[in-house]
Amino acid sequence: MRRPTVQVRTMVRVAAVASSVLSSGVLFGTVASLSPSKRDFNSSTYVTVQQATIRNLRPVMGSLLPTSVLANLAVLVTTDRADARAGRNAITGLLGPLAALLLTARFELPINSQVLAWDPAHPPADWTATRDRWETVHLIRTAAALIGLAGTLDAIAPAP
């Protein structure tokens, strides 16, 4: 197989870093800004804020996370096979956003669909259990995305 050009490797790396930074940043931003407050929200406020957050972030994360997975796959494919460190880190860079995407599809999206159907004035009696489940999965997927970002950054860094 022919080795990719420097320009191709550079474009792949820029795409991987940009999509990984942006998707991780959105996930972390939610953890840092909204999650601490959500426990203090009454049911109506929680549902209203969560519904707005879901509507606002659905198109953003619906493109950023898959792009991050694909771009990090391209980093892995274009990584020099002789550089074991870069290869290991490129795998981490791919697995992080892939895990975040799978957690989103398996857990977060079904919960989001439930919350979007709730009436803010009359949420279900167990709304706090749903909130807590969403927050737990969100924290795990944020950690996965950040670990992936670290792997990507180390994979593309020059060898020491």
Q: Which residue has the higher pLDDT, 5 or 147?
A: 147
Q: What is the pLDDT of residues 20-64, one digit of tens each?
A: 999 999 999 999 999 999 999 999 999 999 999 999 999 999 999
Average confidence (pLDDT) over 79-85: 90
Residue 130 contacts by C-beta under 8 Å, 6 or more apart in sequence? 111, 114, 115, 124
pLDDT of residue 116: 98
Q: Which residues contact 3 (CB under 8 A, 6 or more apart)?
A: none
Q: What is the pLDDT of residue 1?
A: 59
Cα–Cα distance between 5 and 125 in angstroms, integer? 58
Please give the average per-residue pLDDT across 150-158, as a whole number: 95
pLDDT band at 4 (very low <50, low <70, confident <90, very high): confident
Asked if the model's pLDDT at residue 158 lies above 90, the reply is: no
- Give the pLDDT mean for 85-96: 97
Give the mean model confidence (pLDDT) for residues 146-157.
97
Phi–psi pair at 118, nearest 5 degrees: -75, 150
Residue ranges per structural domain of the chain: 6-156
Give residue-wise pLDDT tens across range 99-137.
999 999 999 999 999 999 999 999 999 999 999 999 999
Element holding 144 (H helix, E strand): helix 127-156
Which CA distances in Å does 142 have to 6, 40, 71, 111, 150?
31, 22, 18, 17, 12
Contact 110, 154 (CB under 8 A): no
Band of residue 81 on the pLDDT scale cut at 50, 70, 90: confident
